[in-house]
Structure 1
Amino acid sequence: MTALPRIVVEQGHVEPGYAHYDDLDLMGFVHNCRYPVMVERALTGFWSRNGFTYAEGKYSQPDIFLAVAEFSIRYRAPIRGTVPYAVHFWISKLAESSVVYDFRVLSEDGGTVHAEGHRVHIRIDTETFRPTPWTPAFHEVAEKLL
Protein backbone atom coordinates (compact mmCIF):
# COMPACT_ATOMS: atom_id res chain seq x y z
CA MET A 1 0.00 0.00 0.00
CA THR A 2 1.35 3.42 -0.93
CA ALA A 3 0.78 6.68 0.90
CA LEU A 4 -2.04 8.83 -0.40
CA PRO A 5 -1.16 12.10 -2.04
CA ARG A 6 -1.81 14.97 0.32
CA ILE A 7 -5.40 16.15 -0.04
CA VAL A 8 -5.61 19.78 1.03
CA VAL A 9 -8.72 20.75 2.99
CA GLU A 10 -9.76 24.01 4.63
CA GLN A 11 -10.98 22.35 7.82
CA GLY A 12 -10.79 19.03 9.56
CA HIS A 13 -8.55 16.07 8.86
CA VAL A 14 -8.00 13.60 6.02
CA GLU A 15 -7.25 10.01 7.03
CA PRO A 16 -6.04 7.50 4.40
CA GLY A 17 -7.55 4.05 4.04
CA TYR A 18 -7.44 1.08 1.72
CA ALA A 19 -10.35 -1.01 0.43
CA HIS A 20 -9.62 -4.71 0.85
CA TYR A 21 -11.00 -7.68 -1.04
CA ASP A 22 -13.31 -8.60 1.84
CA ASP A 23 -14.87 -5.10 1.64
CA LEU A 24 -16.26 -5.83 -1.83
CA ASP A 25 -19.68 -7.03 -2.94
CA LEU A 26 -20.34 -9.42 -5.83
CA MET A 27 -19.99 -6.57 -8.37
CA GLY A 28 -16.53 -5.61 -7.11
CA PHE A 29 -17.77 -2.45 -5.39
CA VAL A 30 -17.15 -1.64 -1.74
CA HIS A 31 -20.30 -2.91 -0.01
CA ASN A 32 -22.50 -0.19 1.49
CA CYS A 33 -22.14 -1.61 5.02
CA ARG A 34 -18.35 -1.06 4.90
CA TYR A 35 -18.54 2.74 4.63
CA PRO A 36 -19.50 3.23 8.30
CA VAL A 37 -16.50 1.03 9.20
CA MET A 38 -14.26 3.25 7.04
CA VAL A 39 -15.46 6.31 8.96
CA GLU A 40 -15.03 4.52 12.31
CA ARG A 41 -11.46 3.55 11.45
CA ALA A 42 -10.61 7.06 10.28
CA LEU A 43 -11.87 8.59 13.53
CA THR A 44 -10.15 5.92 15.61
CA GLY A 45 -6.84 6.51 13.83
CA PHE A 46 -6.98 10.26 14.38
CA TRP A 47 -7.98 10.09 18.04
CA SER A 48 -5.53 7.27 18.82
CA ARG A 49 -2.62 9.27 17.44
CA ASN A 50 -3.77 12.10 19.71
CA GLY A 51 -3.64 9.98 22.88
CA PHE A 52 -7.20 8.63 23.06
CA THR A 53 -6.77 4.85 23.06
CA TYR A 54 -8.31 1.66 24.37
CA ALA A 55 -5.86 -1.10 25.25
CA GLU A 56 -5.84 -4.05 27.64
CA GLY A 57 -9.35 -3.19 28.80
CA LYS A 58 -8.46 0.37 29.77
CA TYR A 59 -9.40 3.76 28.37
CA SER A 60 -6.54 6.26 28.17
CA GLN A 61 -9.08 9.10 28.36
CA PRO A 62 -12.65 9.01 29.71
CA ASP A 63 -13.93 10.75 26.56
CA ILE A 64 -13.66 7.60 24.47
CA PHE A 65 -16.45 5.97 26.46
CA LEU A 66 -19.23 7.13 24.15
CA ALA A 67 -22.26 6.11 22.18
CA VAL A 68 -23.07 6.74 18.54
CA ALA A 69 -26.45 8.44 18.67
CA GLU A 70 -26.92 8.96 14.95
CA PHE A 71 -25.26 7.97 11.69
CA SER A 72 -26.40 9.23 8.30
CA ILE A 73 -24.78 8.50 4.95
CA ARG A 74 -25.49 9.34 1.33
CA TYR A 75 -23.79 7.22 -1.32
CA ARG A 76 -22.58 9.19 -4.35
CA ALA A 77 -20.26 6.98 -6.43
CA PRO A 78 -19.06 3.43 -5.76
CA ILE A 79 -15.51 2.59 -4.80
CA ARG A 80 -14.47 -0.06 -7.30
CA GLY A 81 -11.98 -2.68 -6.27
CA THR A 82 -9.12 -2.85 -3.81
CA VAL A 83 -7.89 0.71 -3.97
CA PRO A 84 -6.76 3.52 -1.67
CA TYR A 85 -9.35 6.03 -0.47
CA ALA A 86 -9.46 8.86 2.07
CA VAL A 87 -11.93 9.96 4.74
CA HIS A 88 -12.20 13.70 5.26
CA PHE A 89 -13.93 14.56 8.53
CA TRP A 90 -14.47 17.61 10.70
CA ILE A 91 -16.55 18.69 13.68
CA SER A 92 -19.57 20.72 12.65
CA LYS A 93 -21.04 21.02 16.15
CA LEU A 94 -19.52 20.57 19.59
CA ALA A 95 -21.90 20.70 22.56
CA GLU A 96 -21.44 19.96 26.26
CA SER A 97 -21.69 16.17 25.91
CA SER A 98 -22.17 15.62 22.18
CA VAL A 99 -20.24 16.14 18.99
CA VAL A 100 -21.32 16.05 15.34
CA TYR A 101 -18.77 14.89 12.78
CA ASP A 102 -19.41 15.57 9.13
CA PHE A 103 -17.48 13.37 6.73
CA ARG A 104 -16.75 12.59 3.09
CA VAL A 105 -15.29 9.35 1.76
CA LEU A 106 -13.06 10.41 -1.12
CA SER A 107 -11.08 8.87 -3.94
CA GLU A 108 -7.31 8.64 -3.61
CA ASP A 109 -6.84 12.05 -5.26
CA GLY A 110 -9.80 13.67 -3.52
CA GLY A 111 -11.56 14.30 -6.83
CA THR A 112 -14.50 11.95 -6.29
CA VAL A 113 -16.89 11.96 -3.32
CA HIS A 114 -17.94 8.35 -2.83
CA ALA A 115 -20.12 9.01 0.21
CA GLU A 116 -20.89 11.78 2.66
CA GLY A 117 -22.80 12.19 5.87
CA HIS A 118 -22.59 12.83 9.57
CA ARG A 119 -22.14 10.93 12.81
CA VAL A 120 -23.14 12.03 16.31
CA HIS A 121 -21.29 10.91 19.46
CA ILE A 122 -22.54 11.32 23.03
CA ARG A 123 -19.98 11.08 25.83
CA ILE A 124 -21.19 8.62 28.45
CA ASP A 125 -20.25 8.48 32.13
CA THR A 126 -18.67 5.07 32.84
CA GLU A 127 -20.63 4.59 36.08
CA THR A 128 -24.06 6.12 35.43
CA PHE A 129 -24.21 5.54 31.66
CA ARG A 130 -25.70 9.03 31.34
CA PRO A 131 -24.41 11.81 29.11
CA THR A 132 -21.54 13.74 30.68
CA PRO A 133 -19.43 16.74 29.57
CA TRP A 134 -16.29 16.39 27.46
CA THR A 135 -12.99 16.94 29.28
CA PRO A 136 -10.57 19.79 28.57
CA ALA A 137 -8.23 17.22 26.94
CA PHE A 138 -10.96 16.35 24.43
CA HIS A 139 -11.62 20.03 23.70
CA GLU A 140 -7.93 20.62 23.06
CA VAL A 141 -7.74 17.91 20.38
CA ALA A 142 -11.21 18.66 18.98
CA GLU A 143 -10.01 22.21 18.16
CA LYS A 144 -8.01 20.66 15.31
CA LEU A 145 -11.25 19.50 13.71
CA LEU A 146 -13.44 22.59 14.18
Structure 2
Amino acid sequence: MSSTTQTADAPGTDVGVLMPVVVHFDDLDPMGLLHNGHYQVLVERAWGWFWRDRGVGGKSDLEGDGFNVAKALDTTYHLPVSGIGEYAVHLWMKRLGNSSATAGYRMCSADGKTTYAHGSRTVVRLDRTTLTPTPWSERVLEIARTIGLPQTNDKA
Protein backbone atom coordinates (compact mmCIF):
# COMPACT_ATOMS: atom_id res chain seq x y z
CA MET A 1 0.00 0.00 0.00
CA SER A 2 1.43 3.38 -0.91
CA SER A 3 1.47 6.15 1.64
CA THR A 4 -1.69 7.75 0.19
CA THR A 5 -3.79 4.76 -0.96
CA GLN A 6 -7.31 4.53 0.48
CA THR A 7 -8.62 1.08 1.35
CA ALA A 8 -11.27 -0.38 3.66
CA ASP A 9 -8.48 -0.59 6.25
CA ALA A 10 -7.53 3.06 5.78
CA PRO A 11 -10.27 5.25 4.27
CA GLY A 12 -9.90 8.86 3.24
CA THR A 13 -10.41 11.70 5.67
CA ASP A 14 -14.04 12.07 4.55
CA VAL A 15 -14.67 9.30 7.12
CA GLY A 16 -13.78 9.77 10.76
CA VAL A 17 -11.81 12.54 12.38
CA LEU A 18 -8.20 13.75 12.38
CA MET A 19 -6.82 14.25 15.88
CA PRO A 20 -3.59 16.25 16.17
CA VAL A 21 -0.67 14.61 17.99
CA VAL A 22 2.89 15.71 18.64
CA VAL A 23 5.97 13.53 18.31
CA HIS A 24 8.60 14.58 20.84
CA PHE A 25 12.34 13.88 20.89
CA ASP A 26 11.91 11.15 23.52
CA ASP A 27 9.44 9.31 21.23
CA LEU A 28 12.28 8.63 18.79
CA ASP A 29 14.54 5.59 18.77
CA PRO A 30 18.36 5.80 18.42
CA MET A 31 17.97 6.06 14.63
CA GLY A 32 15.83 9.21 14.96
CA LEU A 33 12.62 7.38 13.97
CA LEU A 34 9.38 7.11 15.93
CA HIS A 35 9.79 4.02 18.10
CA ASN A 36 7.38 1.28 16.99
CA GLY A 37 5.72 1.13 20.44
CA HIS A 38 5.03 4.87 20.43
CA TYR A 39 2.61 4.60 17.50
CA GLN A 40 0.15 2.83 19.82
CA VAL A 41 0.75 5.41 22.57
CA LEU A 42 -0.16 8.20 20.15
CA VAL A 43 -3.27 6.28 19.04
CA GLU A 44 -4.37 5.80 22.67
CA ARG A 45 -3.82 9.50 23.39
CA ALA A 46 -5.78 10.52 20.30
CA TRP A 47 -8.72 8.29 21.28
CA GLY A 48 -8.59 9.62 24.83
CA TRP A 49 -8.75 13.23 23.65
CA PHE A 50 -11.47 12.42 21.13
CA TRP A 51 -13.80 11.06 23.86
CA ARG A 52 -12.70 13.62 26.47
CA ASP A 53 -13.52 16.47 24.06
CA ARG A 54 -17.05 15.05 23.81
CA GLY A 55 -17.57 14.71 27.56
CA VAL A 56 -17.22 10.93 27.81
CA GLY A 57 -15.46 9.46 30.86
CA GLY A 58 -16.11 12.19 33.42
CA LYS A 59 -13.41 13.97 35.39
CA SER A 60 -11.27 10.85 35.81
CA ASP A 61 -11.81 9.66 32.20
CA LEU A 62 -12.76 6.31 33.79
CA GLU A 63 -16.40 6.96 34.62
CA GLY A 64 -19.23 5.26 32.72
CA ASP A 65 -18.23 4.53 29.13
CA GLY A 66 -14.68 5.63 29.92
CA PHE A 67 -14.15 2.45 31.95
CA ASN A 68 -13.07 0.15 29.14
CA VAL A 69 -10.10 -2.08 28.39
CA ALA A 70 -8.17 -2.95 25.27
CA LYS A 71 -8.93 -6.34 23.80
CA ALA A 72 -6.81 -6.12 20.64
CA LEU A 73 -4.52 -3.65 18.95
CA ASP A 74 -2.78 -4.18 15.64
CA THR A 75 -0.58 -1.97 13.54
CA THR A 76 0.82 -2.23 10.03
CA TYR A 77 3.73 0.10 9.33
CA HIS A 78 4.21 1.80 5.95
CA LEU A 79 6.69 4.66 6.29
CA PRO A 80 8.84 5.70 9.22
CA VAL A 81 8.03 8.89 11.09
CA SER A 82 11.43 10.50 10.90
CA GLY A 83 11.37 13.44 13.22
CA ILE A 84 9.70 15.48 15.89
CA GLY A 85 6.75 17.69 15.09
CA GLU A 86 3.02 17.80 14.49
CA TYR A 87 1.25 14.79 13.01
CA ALA A 88 -2.28 13.39 13.26
CA VAL A 89 -4.08 10.20 14.09
CA HIS A 90 -7.04 9.57 11.80
CA LEU A 91 -9.77 7.74 13.74
CA TRP A 92 -12.95 6.05 12.55
CA MET A 93 -15.39 3.49 13.90
CA LYS A 94 -15.42 0.10 12.18
CA ARG A 95 -17.81 -1.85 14.41
CA LEU A 96 -19.76 -1.12 17.55
CA GLY A 97 -21.27 -3.98 19.47
CA ASN A 98 -23.33 -4.01 22.64
CA SER A 99 -20.24 -3.76 24.88
CA SER A 100 -17.29 -3.76 22.48
CA ALA A 101 -16.02 -1.43 19.80
CA THR A 102 -13.51 -1.82 16.99
CA ALA A 103 -12.05 1.31 15.51
CA GLY A 104 -9.66 1.92 12.68
CA TYR A 105 -6.79 4.35 12.79
CA ARG A 106 -3.98 5.80 10.70
CA MET A 107 -0.89 7.54 11.98
CA CYS A 108 -0.51 10.23 9.36
CA SER A 109 0.76 13.65 8.43
CA ALA A 110 -1.04 16.58 10.04
CA ASP A 111 -3.07 17.09 6.85
CA GLY A 112 -3.97 13.39 6.59
CA LYS A 113 -2.34 12.96 3.18
CA THR A 114 0.57 10.70 4.14
CA THR A 115 0.02 7.43 5.99
CA TYR A 116 2.84 6.16 8.20
CA ALA A 117 0.93 3.26 9.79
CA HIS A 118 -2.61 1.96 10.08
CA GLY A 119 -4.46 -0.59 12.15
CA SER A 120 -7.40 -1.33 14.40
CA ARG A 121 -8.13 -1.20 18.09
CA THR A 122 -10.85 -3.14 19.95
CA VAL A 123 -12.03 -2.23 23.44
CA VAL A 124 -14.64 -3.65 25.80
CA ARG A 125 -16.66 -1.52 28.20
CA LEU A 126 -16.67 -2.99 31.71
CA ASP A 127 -18.88 -2.62 34.74
CA ARG A 128 -16.65 -0.95 37.31
CA THR A 129 -17.83 -3.20 40.16
CA THR A 130 -18.06 -6.65 38.54
CA LEU A 131 -15.43 -6.11 35.79
CA THR A 132 -17.77 -7.82 33.33
CA PRO A 133 -18.82 -6.43 29.93
CA THR A 134 -21.62 -3.88 30.09
CA PRO A 135 -23.49 -2.02 27.30
CA TRP A 136 -22.38 1.31 25.89
CA SER A 137 -24.55 4.33 26.64
CA GLU A 138 -26.76 5.93 23.99
CA ARG A 139 -24.41 8.94 24.07
CA VAL A 140 -21.47 6.81 22.91
CA LEU A 141 -23.61 5.22 20.20
CA GLU A 142 -24.55 8.72 18.94
CA ILE A 143 -20.95 9.93 18.94
CA ALA A 144 -19.68 6.76 17.26
CA ARG A 145 -22.10 7.28 14.38
CA THR A 146 -20.50 10.66 13.67
CA ILE A 147 -17.15 9.05 12.85
CA GLY A 148 -18.20 6.50 10.27
CA LEU A 149 -20.13 3.86 12.17
CA PRO A 150 -22.43 1.94 9.84
CA GLN A 151 -26.10 2.25 10.77
CA THR A 152 -26.25 -1.38 11.90
CA ASN A 153 -25.44 -2.31 15.49
CA ASP A 154 -23.89 -5.73 16.18
CA LYS A 155 -24.90 -7.86 19.17
CA ALA A 156 -21.39 -8.55 20.57
1:57-115, Cα deviation, whole Å (9 max, x unpaired) = 574x4011011000000111010111211100100001110000000010133222111
**Counterparts of residues 1-146 of structure 1 (less than 5 Å):** 9-55=13-59, 57=60, 59=62, 61-145=63-147, 146=149
Q: Distance in 2 between matches of 1:81 and 1:108?
A: 13
SS at match of 1:125: coil
Structure 1: unaligned runs, 5 residues or longer = 1-7
Q: Distance in 1 between matches of 2:110 and 2:18?
A: 11
Q: Distance in 2 between matches of 1:12 and 1:42?
A: 12
Q: TM-score, normalization: structure 2?
A: 0.83
Q: TM-score, normalization: structure 1?
A: 0.88
Q: Which moved more, 1:107-116 or 1:14-23?
A: 107-116
User: Which residue pairs with 2:9 in the alignment?
Assistant: none
Identity of aligned residues (%): 37
SS at match of 1:139: helix
Superposed structure 1 runs of 4+ greater than 2 Å apart: 108-111
Structure 2: unaligned runs, 5 residues or longer = 1-11, 150-156
Report how many residues are paired.
137
What CA RMSD, in Å, does the superposition of the two structures yield over aligned residues?
Answer: 1.5
Q: 1:136 to 1:142 in 2, by over 3 A?
A: same
